[in-house]
Chains A and B, each alone.
Chain A
Amino acid sequence: GDSVTQMEGPVTLSEEAFLTINCTYTATGYPSLFWYVQYPGEGLQLLLKATKADDKGSNKGFEATYRKETTSFHLEKGSVQVSDSAVYFCALRKTDSWGKLQFGAGTQVVVTP
C-alpha cells in the first residue's frame, strides 16, 4: 500500500543552522506531495507542495523538490530561526483519491537560540 516515511525526530538545531528533513514515499502512479507544519497547540498549515516530478515547492525559505527517481521530497531550509520550531509532516495525495492525504509520522524540529 501507499506510505510516507520521514526521518525520526526530534531534530535539534542552533539558530541559523541548515535544516534537512528526509521524506520518501511509496505509491503507484504520480501522487502530489506536500509538507505541512504544526505549531504547538495548533492545526496543520500547508507549507509547500509539488504536483509532478522535478517540481520545486518553496515558501518562507523552505524548499522541497519532487524526485521521482528516488521517490523523495526532502524539506530544506538554509538558516532556521527559533520560530521554525514545530512538527513537520510530509504527505502524499493520489490522483485517483484526491480527498485523502496520507501523512508521514511527523518530525519534531527544535531550534535553540
Chain B
Amino acid sequence: EAGVTQSPTHLIKTRGQQATLRCSPISGHTSVYWYQQALGLGLQFLLWYDEGEERNRGNFPPRFSGRQFPNYSSELNVNALELEDSALYLCASSFPNQPQHFGDGTRLSIL
C-alpha cells in the first residue's frame, strides 16, 4: 500500500513569491491534514480537510490556504512568502477519527 506522498521534496522561493505544495493521501483516506515543522517552533497544526471541506485551521494568517480535491488529494498554498515560512511542511491522512499517517514532507526554503 502506497503511503502519503508529497511533492515537491524541496522548494526554494524568494520573499513575496507564492508556493504550492501537494499531497496525495493513502488510498481510501478521506481526511487530509497539514502541519508546519519550523526550527524552534515544533509541529504546528495548519489545516484539516475532510470530504472536500475545510474543518479546522490553526493559528496561521490567511495567506496560508489550501483545498482538497474530489480524489481527496490536497494542495497547500502559501502567498506572500516570508522568511519565517521556511520549514518542513508535513501532510497526513486518515480515515475519519483514526490515527494520522504522515508523508515525508516538503522542505520549503525562503531566500
Which A residues lie at the B interface, using CB under 8 A? Answer: 34, 36, 41-46, 49, 89, 97-106
Contact = CB atoms under 8 A, between A and B. Distances in A.
B11 interface: no
A6 to B, nearest CB: 10
Tell me what chain B mostly uses at the interface: helix, strand, loop, or mixed: strand
A46 B99 contact: yes
A49 B98 CA distance: 11
A98 B98 CA distance: 8
Given A98-B97, A102-B45, A106-B42, A43 B90 contact: yes
Interface stretch (B62-70, B78-86, B101-109): B101-109
B47 to A, nearest CB: 9
Interface in B52-99: 55-56, 58, 90, 92, 96-97, 99
A77 B92 CA distance: 26
20 contacts: A41-B104, A42-B104, A43-B4, A43-B102, A44-B43, A45-B102, A46-B99, A46-B100, A49-B99, A97-B56, A98-B97, A99-B31, A100-B33, A100-B56, A101-B35, A101-B43, A101-B45, A101-B100, A102-B45, A105-B42
